[in-house]
Chain A
Amino acid sequence: MRNVLKNCDPRVKILLALGFAVIVALTYSFRVLFLAALFVLVCLSLSGLSLRFVLQRVALVNLFLVLVVFTLPFTTPGTLWFSIGPFKVSHAGASLALLVFLKSNLIVLATVALLYSSSVFELAHALHHLRVPDKLVQLLFFTFRYLHLLEQEFLHLKEAALLRGFRPRTDLFTYRTTAYLVGNLIVRSYDRSQRVYEAMLCRGFQGTFPVYHHFEGQRRDLFLALFGGLYLVLMLLAG
């Protein structure tokens, strides 16, 4: 049963993830969030992703959420729940914080479970099929592609600096070196991205992404679309 989602049609997965995100983002009902959590659990168990990997992704999102979740209870007006010294926590604030926390995590988890099993290449191709404008698809694809290149170039430069005995300290020399590294990184990555694009042009690239493993509507995809879609409708009705 594991890895089932990997071989499913990315078009169905994108639409499900989008529908899920919209419904969860707009709801204020904990009942819907409970149903959403069930959906996420099923998706995760079908995705074949390791728990550790998923937790890492979620941890990253929660880093941003910390600020929101810890300020909302104190800043939202409402009936007093309890107070810590001069800081008053309201019922409305606490429930709002919980809501935001749950919503964000559920959306991220569902997106990871559904989309991580497809390559960016497949997703780009699927977006074409869903009639997303070419320019947007290319933007998405190249953003991903170039982020990867940026990282590679950065590692190269860092190694080169370390190999020549560079050790970061808090002095002007370190700041200047870092500035050189960043400057070089931008120029190099730009050049490299240009070359990758040109190499693609040389192989007949015209703005679309043909995939090697073509999607064929299979029974599995139909099931996923049907059950996923029905479940989303159920969530809507519950809200």
Chain B
Amino acid sequence: MAQPLLELKNLAFSYGEKVLFKDLCLRLYPGERMGLMGPNGAGKTTLLRLIVGLLSPEAGQIIFEGKPCHTPKDFYYLRRRVGLVFQDPDDQLFCPTVAEDIAFGPLNLGVPREQIPGLVSHVLKMLGLEGFEERVTYRLSGGEKRLVALGTVLAMKPQVLLLDEPTGDLDPLNIEKLIDILKGLSAAQIIVSHDVEFLKEVTDTIYWLEKGVLSPYEKKTSISFYRAF
């Protein structure tokens, strides 16, 4: 098989006493769509943050395109190609208007200014939010915010897309829309979600993360949802 686009090798990470992973391995191939489930606090979000270098692992490597990433510069390069959409869209959107927010990433990447308005309207069209350019971001509805937050990352044309609970407060219609958008992308994806039906629809494989161990998701493991009670 081809070289993995992104590989996590023997990753270890803990918050103080609480050990999240000791020896975690994961491979993501170009165009692969992977779902990630697990109980609350299992470290799904942490895993995504480790991948883009917002946290640094205690041991192990993050390998992107065959090159291990260690320095901030490595991760700066990685983040140009690996886009992370945060769980809370309010964390992601900080510009006054939708157009400016979507343009922020591409402008940072040095996309020529003349191409920006076209790119913004293309992204908005993809999201089914035509004509939203001048809308004020903090006055959007929850669902619109979530889609725009996705758009801010899509505008950077990432090779890998990391999504943290993208279905959040979306209504069923918007979830359908999201499924279509994600299926239409060529980027490899890792999607963290609690929504099995959604993951089954979008992703090729679903993994279960619990106690630092990543295993293929099977129906029976869903019992551990209730173990806490």
Contact = CB atoms under 8 A, between A and B. Distances in A.
Interface of A: 119, 121, 145, 192, 195-196, 198-206, 210-212, 214
B101 to A, nearest CB: 9
B134 to A, nearest CB: 11
B76 to A, nearest CB: 8
Contact of A119 (B96, B108, B113): B96
Given A121-B100, A212-B100, A196 B108 contact: no
Interface in B96-139: 96-97, 99-100, 103-105, 107-109, 113, 116
B80 A204 contact: yes
Interface of B: 49, 52, 54, 76, 79-80, 83-84, 86, 88, 91-92, 94-97, 99-100, 103-105, 107-109, 113, 116, 152-153, 156
Contacts of A212: 95, 97, 99-100, 103, 107, 116
B73 to A, nearest CB: 11
Contacts of B79: 201-204
A145 B96 CA distance: 11
A210 B94 contact: no
A203 B96 contact: no
Contact of A203 (B49, B97, B104, B113): B104
Nearest to B105: A203
Nearest to A120: B96
What DSSP secondary structure best describes chain B's contact surface? helix
Contacts of A202: 52, 54, 79, 83-84, 86, 153
28 contacts: A121-B95, A121-B96, A192-B91, A195-B86, A196-B94, A199-B91, A202-B52, A202-B79, A202-B83, A203-B83, A203-B104, A203-B108, A203-B152, A203-B153, A203-B156, A204-B79, A204-B108, A204-B109, A204-B156, A206-B76, A206-B108, A210-B103, A210-B104, A210-B107, A212-B100, A212-B103, A212-B116, A214-B113
A204 B103 contact: no
B94 A145 contact: yes
Contacts of A205: 104, 108
A195 B104 contact: no
B95 A204 contact: no
B17 to A, nearest CB: 20
A121 B97 CA distance: 11
Given A203-B152, A205-B108, A198 B54 contact: yes
B149 to A, nearest CB: 9
Contact of A199 (B86, B100, B109): B86
A165 B205 CA distance: 48
Contacts of B108: 203-206, 210
B167 to A, nearest CB: 19
**4 nearest CB pairs, A to B:** A204-B108, A210-B107, A203-B105, A195-B91
Contacts of B104: 200, 203, 205, 210
B224 to A, nearest CB: 28
Contacts of B76: 204, 206
A185 B229 CA distance: 31
